[in-house]
Amino acid sequence: MANSWGSRLRRGASLPVGRQVEGLKGLQVKQTELQNQYQRERLELERKYLSLQKPLYARRHAFISESAEATQDEIAAGEAAGLKEDEEYEPIRKLREDEEEGEAKPAKDVKGIPTFWVTALRNHPGLAEIVTERDAEALGYLKDVTLEYLEKEGGPYAGSPASPSPSPRPFFTNETLTKTYIYNEEVGYAGDFTYDRAIGSPITWKEEQDLTREWEIKKQRNKNTNHTRLIRKSHPTPSFFNFFSPPVMPDEEALESGELEREDSEINYQVGWAVKEVVCRVQKRILTDRNPINLN
């Protein structure tokens, strides 16, 4: 669009104006080079701080799985943050006193935070309509969600929304699912790295447990014998797990011919960004939400 406009302006202008237009294009080249440098340095900064936060993510996983208990200092820091953000916040010691006095229901003997990740995914506004009731049952087995930055090809991250440790998996046999996004080396028109393609883990579903398909039974009549039989057919259905089968990014020729739409690829990228936010900001989103959330 910018080149087309510049070409039209140059063709309809005098030589001096045309020279100035070419000069503007030259400035844009230098600006793009600086924008490329900025985005690469920003990516390295994100990589650095992800590494610094990994011990905190490991500690978070320990709390969720109950392989470790929160210390008094950690609990006190959490209560202080809660009181700062919400005047009606009740510290855990107050809840414990109410329980002892019979004003609150006694706590169940629950280990860790069993539904932490499925709750986090379902409460993200970018994922709420994507995670179905059927998905929620499978995501209830989720033990951890992690984030990594690729070392090559300029890719931003690979998400791992699956259990990396042994646990019951009645839906599929994979121990871990990954989703990788690759960026182009150069920034786009808006000054950001542009999305090139995505790579998802093929899911090995157990028999009749594929959440991305629905099955129906139909009667089929033989025209010659007039006998009927029951046949089972499946068809695609909306599911969070379609996230791991990303659409192929269409090329410009396919887009111009109308054979493929860019929208599916862009939606897939937006879902990936939402999952990234769940990993990085999940405590903030869940623990400060004023709406009641059941984590048992």
Instruction: Determine which of 113-127, 198-212, 270-284 has the lowest per-residue pLDDT on average.
Output: 270-284
Q: Within a domain: residue 9?
A: no
Per-residue confidence (pLDDT) for residue 251, from 0 to 100: 62
Q: Give the SS3 label for residue 156.
A: coil
250 or 247: whose pLDDT is higher?
247
Per-residue confidence (pLDDT) for residue 49, from 0 to 100: 93
Instruction: Determine which of 10-14, 60-64, 236-240 has the lowest per-residue pLDDT on average.
Output: 10-14
Average pLDDT estimate for 132-140: 93
Helix (H) or strand (E) holding 201: none
209 or 253: whose pLDDT is higher?
209
Average pLDDT estimate for 69-81: 89
Q: Within a domain: residue 64?
A: no
Is the model's pLDDT at 229 over the cut of 70?
A: yes
Q: Within a domain: residue 188?
A: yes
**Which pLDDT tens digit goes with each residue over 142-187?**
889 988 887 754 444 444 444 444 456 789 999 889 998 888 887 7
Q: Within a domain: residue 18?
A: no
Instruction: Determine which of 3-17, 96-110, 249-263, 282-296 has the lowest per-residue pLDDT on average.
Output: 282-296
Say which CATH number the domain at 136 has. Answer: 3.30.1120.90
Strand order in the sheet with 179-187: 145-148, 157-161, 179-187, 193-200
How many domains are contained in the chain? 1
Is the model's pLDDT at 119 over the cut of 50?
A: yes
Q: Within a domain: residue 34?
A: no
Q: Within a domain: residue 280?
A: yes
Per-residue confidence (pLDDT) for residue 111, from 0 to 100: 73
What range does the domain containing 153 cover? 113-287
Instruction: Determine which of 37-46, 146-155, 262-271 has the lowest per-residue pLDDT on average.
Output: 146-155
Q: Within a domain: residue 209?
A: yes
**pLDDT category of residue 6 using cuts at 50, 70 and 90:** low
DSSP state of 172: B
Q: Evaluate whether 247 touches 255 at the Cβ level (below 8 Å).
A: no
Q: Give the SS3 label for residue 52.
A: helix
Tell me the residue ranges of DSSP E strands in 212-259: 213-221, 228-236
Q: Within a domain: residue 31?
A: no
Is the model's pLDDT at 106 over the cut of 60?
A: no
Distances (CA, A) of 93 to 73, 76, 83, 207, 294: 14, 10, 13, 48, 19
Quote the mean pLDDT of the chain.
Answer: 78
Task: Give the tokens for residue 122.
Answer: 């379902």
